[in-house]
Amino acid sequence: MTREFLDPRLLKLIKPLREAAPQAKVFDKAVYSAFASKPLRNQLRMRRASTLIITGGETDVCVLATVLAAIDLGYRVVLPLDALCSARDSTHDALVTLYSERFSTQIETTTTERLLSAWD
């Protein structure tokens, strides 16, 4: 799943999230974890971010690498499970179980609807 092969419309936030979220900075990544990007880490530090809402493709690869790095760096992680996907249902489902059960202390799982309803 790379920009080279994806329809650009698939990279945009869905309308309810787009309306709730401020204009975003985009940090491309060439590896699994988004935290390999020094500009992203710097931006989060500058904003004094403490909680990250992580969504994306490949629940069991890129999302996993990013979530584990976020936990290691001390961030509170929120995963709207209906905003995650993977090329393989079996490994997606296994990771959703892992996120929800094994990492329930470090990760809060929710739905996009519940997340938006709680948005300040």
pLDDT in tens, 3-29: 778 788 877 777 777 777 777 777 778
Give the Å distances, CA to CA, from 7 to 10, 48, 62, 96. 6, 33, 19, 26
Q: How many CB atoms lie within 10 A of CB 66?
A: 22
Quick one: DSSP state of residue 115?
Answer: H
- Say yes or no to pLDDT of 96 above 80: yes
The answer to whether 90 touches 98, Cβ cutoff 8 Å, is no
Q: What pLDDT score does 27 carry? A: 78
CATH H superfamily, domain 49-120 = Isochorismatase-like (3.40.50.850)
- To which residue do tokens 């209906």 refer? 82
